[in-house]
Amino acid sequence: MTGRRSGLSKDAAAREIEKLRRDVSYHDHRYYVLDDPEISDAEYDRLRERLVELEEEFPELVTPSSPTQRVGAPPLEAFREVRHSIPMLSLSNAFGEEGMLEFDARVKKLLVDADGLQYVAEPKLDGVAIELVYEKGRLSVGSTRGDGTTGEDVTQNLRTVRSIPLKLISEGKGTIPGLLEVRGEVIMRTSQFKRLNEERRQQEEPLFANPRNAAAGSLRQLDSSVTASRPLEVYFHGIGRVEGLSFRTHQELLSFLPRVGLRVSPLVKLCEDIHEAAVYYNDMMKMRDALEYEIDGVVIKVNELAQQEALGAISRSPRWALAVKFPGRQATTEILDIVVQVGRTGALTPVAVMEPVNLGGVTVSRATLHNQDEIDRKDVRIGDTVVVQRAGDVIPEVVSVVTSKRSGSERKFSLPEKCPVCGVGVVRLEGEVASRCVGMACAAKLRQSIRHFASKRAMDIEGLGGKTIEQLIEKELVASVADLYSLEKSELLKLERMGEKLAENILASIERSKNTTLPRLIFALGIRHVGEHLSRLLAEHFGRALDGSGGPADRGEQRTPSLGVLGRLAFAGQEELEQVGEVGPQVAQSIRSFFAQKENVDIIARLFAAGVTIAAGEPRAESGLAGKSFVFTGILERHAREEARRIVESLGGRVAHQVSRKVDFAVVGRDPGSKVDRARELGLRILTEQEFEELVREG
């Protein structure tokens, strides 16, 4: 018995829901964490909307881990965590006037008194959501939305954005609140985005997909000087906590923000009713191509703050606000060819080469096909007539095929088995939609490979910045990371802005990097899904004996004694790899695929031949903290979060990200989050930062 809107049985729905959750979670990670989206916003919205529909129809299948139950994605480990005092909620979506009228009807039904209901309408900026905290008028913390509850601390980067005041403007006594948490959107103007991409094209760097992607990538730089060089701007649209001031309406709040130096969109409009808001929506849709920045819809909010409070929120979305999306901009054209691009992470992306067509005032001749699954699902063939769409993205996508126009001469397409750039084998890991080149020396990702290899947490080679790496590659002085160890001073001096002292320092740093540890070297290789933590676990398992190369005889590979201790890892089978804690089938497959490429093994052998040696391991003191588990919450005053983690690990302990009964100590800093409440519930030992230092000294 079905009796369901979808016509699906519960079992069939469960299977589709599970697949949708995997797909949405994967694209969340690509979009929010890696800043490297593989599908357009329109395609993502369709996946998520289908998931929401099925979960509403089958509420018994909803789980806390579903992507519909959270906002955004977890913060990157490279940044300190910042907990938002009031969650940064996402907005429910609607399309067109019909969706707005339905929203208005829901609001009026929920409100006891809906007389005089007004809305504030504004453009929906396609940027990166942030929160700034001003204490006594001075900027103290800046963070990304993250998962809506906890974001990434990007304060130093945001301080470089010129449209963000470091100190609020005072109009007189009492105008500056003691505390102000303000929310906004970081954007990049279209003209600036095009200029940035042109510079990257000339330098043969990977291009950003769209202005939002460029803004996110600029904001998440570990080096704030890179952010400072990017043309970022901010518009503010709301607040979190505020002390010392109060507001009656949202319009009143938006009028206040510019008076203290915080920019608000000049296109914000107070609408007397939903019909006036609908007119605003249509006006913005006509204006979108003339604007200097990307918008993908409008946002409408109930104006009276008391009414907002009465309406409250459902799940992770407020009942008093709505994002009204614009329809995608579409056209029809013919696919002349399909070519493959290799990204900086090695991902192979099929791109349709099309008969040029005008989309939203822009002539386009290429459109992304995302991956092989998308090509197969849409049955896209070379020679097809297709519908293409530019839904707010600079790079358009193929939406569908006009099968009625097929002549029979169209040709099917499959991604190559070898990388079109370097010829190394292409691998698609289980559970992933992207196929990837795993070659260490692939020219398409060489800049990224060298940067990662030389980074502080890997081989720690100082002086090898982006510009230097670019020149080394352009002048063909390095074709793989192994070539770094054969560089000579005379070659470095050929580079622009390279003096004798700098050249000597770089060579000295390269020489020092030869004496490293096994975890660092494994991490430096850039094996997909193998970060610092897994590198340590792999080193502990496979680094017990410096027994030369070698591995299971049934693998059939030629033994390479010059691989040293890495030989045990290089020739490990799937079963042995999965014996390592936290290594599952996907990670094991990634490791095996990496070492299965002869080109990678040759580069590693060259590293050892050049004098790279493995020390016994990172120094780890014997202490009473060995085996103990710590969790950190709040703002640490004396230690960066990464420094605290290293202290714990140097004493044989480990740092957990969540509070559980397996945790021994909870270290609490300023403005702690809910972790401290959970720690108290479980009876964990709670430490101040000073008590943590004392424990470390005693340990």
The secondary structure of residue 418, as a DSSP letter, is B
Supply 396's token pair. 């358009």
Between CA 624 and CA 695 the distance in angstroms is 9
Between CA 147 and CA 631 the distance in angstroms is 19
The torsion angles phi and psi of 424, rounded to 5 degrees, stand at: -75, 155
Helices vs. strands in the chain: H and E counts, helices first: 24, 26
Q: How many residues comprise the chain? A: 699
Between CA 685 and CA 512 the distance in angstroms is 41
Supply 469's token pair. 């790496």
Supply 7's token pair. 């016509």
Task: Answer left, alpha or beta for residue 299, where phi above 0 means left and psi between -120 and 50 means alpha.
Answer: beta
Tokens 């084998």 belong to which residue? 425
- Which DSSP string corresponds to 647-671? HHHHTT-EE-SS--TT--EEEE-BS
The secondary structure of residue 167, as a DSSP letter, is B
Question: Long-range contacts: 358-364, Cβ < 8 Å, 24+?
Answer: 358/331, 359/329, 359/330, 359/331, 359/388, 359/389, 359/390, 359/396, 360/288, 360/289, 360/329, 360/390, 361/289, 362/390, 364/388, 364/390, 364/396
Active site residues: 124
The secondary structure of residue 640, as a DSSP letter, is -
Between CA 396 and CA 367 the distance in angstroms is 5
Question: Which run of H or E residues covers position 180?
Answer: strand 179-187
3-state secondary structure 302-349: ECEHHHHHHHCEECCEECCEEEEECCCCEEEEEEEEEEEEECCCCEEE
Tokens 């990371």 belong to which residue? 481
Between CA 142 and CA 165 the distance in angstroms is 12
Pairing outcome for strands 179-187 and 295-302? unpaired
Question: Long-range contacts: 594-599, Cβ < 8 Å, 24+?
Answer: 594/438, 594/525, 594/527, 594/528, 595/569, 595/570, 595/571, 596/425, 597/424, 597/425, 597/438, 597/439, 599/422, 599/424, 599/439, 599/440, 599/441
Residues 6 or more apart whose CB falls under 8 angstroms from that of 644 comprise 632, 636, 655, 667, 692
Tokens 């703002």 belong to which residue? 635
